[in-house]
Structure 1
Amino acid sequence: MIASPRVNLREFSPADVDALLAIYGDPMVVEHMSFEPRTREQVRATIDNLMTLAQAEPRLEYSLAGTEPGGELVAFARLAIDVGHPLQNSGQIGFALRADRWGQGLGAAVVALLLRLAFDELGLYRVWGARSPANEPSARVMSKLRMVEEGRIRGHIRVRDGWRDSIVHSILAPEWTSRLG
């Protein structure tokens, strides 16, 4: 588990189905994602898959449950290690919050823990995230953590009504270190 005063990140368990359904089943939450709201069975299958991926060696994906200090699951947090060139040493983050927790600073707390995992625990050099051009709250979260807006990937994600561009933000290890210093 990775903890902060506002939120903790832990592995998913089968008991998290309903709590994750409150995130992935909500049309408002998935509006800027590449999928429609998920059913309970789809969420159960997602959690089963995440639990399998967590056992992989080497581990290339960290999909974690974001919980408040009392244990209530309120966020989905993901760090995927980029594969390809052996010296790439980077990862992509993604996050989603339960709609009733929007605007409370939890998104920034979740992303800060993902960055801590990436840089301080896994030793990555670069972390990036891609967002919908219309997702301004996500832009604010990444900017708050000094992730630099790099630009637009055209036609990046297939969504319900066609192809969508993505805006990429990134941060490098020296920027994270100096931010904490």
Structure 2
Amino acid sequence: MHPVTRSSARLALRELAAADVDAVLAIYGSPAATEHLSFEPRDREQVEQIVARAVTTATATPRTEYALAVIEQTTAELIGFGRLALDPHQQRGATIGFALRPQVWGRGYGVETVRLLLAFGFDDLALHRIWGARSPLNEASAKTMSAVGMVEEGLIREHVLKAGKWRDSVVHAILEREFRPGS
């Protein structure tokens, strides 16, 4: 499925483009934005590679990864990054990830972004289960996933090595019937 486009009242998802490197760098290069992610802040060259990979995988057949720009509708500005990656170990399953520029935190954009990604996964990709993992210290992410109906399922111990230290991850998931009751 290419190109991906999906929108809500305030946000839109679209495919990443080579011209998005600076906007993605504002997220992935930010110590604040990556504090609870599974990696250290990225430099420009690393972000260029991430965006190039997203552009390439967007036209892969079969497509197994959807790395998408989150666009604020009123400004047409890229404010976030969302990702669905099909899970090779589960039929009709995927992992979800998202990150927003710190300047837009606290506006409800996280919930709106995750709802868009879930709707895309369940409606367009016919997925059965979508799950994501977060840092135990990332309370904003916990609230976001809870607000969209994702259920906290448990802890993956020492799941991520970051800054030379092992960190646990908390798993949240949602099933199609929970997102769209009656389906």
Report if TM-score (shorter chain) is over 0.5. Answer: yes
Deviation at 1:156, TM superposition (A): 1.0
Aligned partner of residue 116 in structure 1, secondary structure: helix
Which is further off, 99-108 or 48-57? 48-57
User: What is aligned with 1:137?
Assistant: 140
User: Of residues 112, 131, 137 in structure 1, which corresponds to 2:115?
Assistant: 112
* Identical columns (%): 52
Alpha-carbon distance in structure 2 between the residues aligned to 1:170 and 1:178: 15
Deviation at 1:89, TM superposition (A): 1.3
Contact 1:34 1:160 in 2 (8 A): no
Deviation at 1:41, TM superposition (A): 1.5
User: Of residues 162, 166, 177 in structure 1, which corresponds to 2:180?
Assistant: 177
User: What is aligned with 1:158?
Assistant: 161
The alignment's TM-score, normalised by the length of structure 1, stands at 0.95
Contact 1:75 1:97 in 2 (8 A): yes
Unaligned ranges ≥5, structure 2:
none
User: What is aligned with 1:71?
Assistant: 76
1:8 equivalenced with 2:12 (yes/no): yes
Contact 1:125 1:173 in 2 (8 A): yes
Alpha-carbon distance in structure 2 between the residues aligned to 1:96 and 1:35: 12
User: What is aligned with 1:83?
Assistant: 88
User: What is aligned with 1:61?
Assistant: 65
Residue type of the partner of 1:78? R
Alpha-carbon distance in structure 1 between the residues aligned to 2:164 and 2:44: 24
Residue type of the partner of 2:65? E
Alpha-carbon distance in structure 2 between the residues aligned to 1:175 and 1:36: 34
Deviation at 1:42, TM superposition (A): 1.2
The alignment's TM-score, normalised by the length of structure 2, stands at 0.94
Deviation at 1:161, TM superposition (A): 2.7
Deviation at 1:36, TM superposition (A): 1.5
User: What is aligned with 1:147?
Assistant: 150
Deviation at 1:39, TM superposition (A): 1.1
Deviation at 1:4, TM superposition (A): 0.6
Alpha-carbon distance in structure 2 between the residues aligned to 1:84 and 1:20: 29
Q: How does 1:23-38 map to 2 (within 5 A)?
A: 23-38=27-42
Task: Describe the superposition over 1:25-54 as per-residue Cα deviations: whole angstroms up to 9, x where unpaired.
Answer: 110000111221111121111100111111
Aligned partner of residue 181 in structure 2, secondary structure: helix
Residue type of the partner of 2:87? D
Deviation at 1:169, TM superposition (A): 0.5
| Cα-Cα RMSD | 1.3
Task: Describe the superposition over 1:123-175 as per-residue Cα deviations: whole angstroms up to 9, x where unpaired.
Answer: 00001010000000000000000100001011111111321110000110111
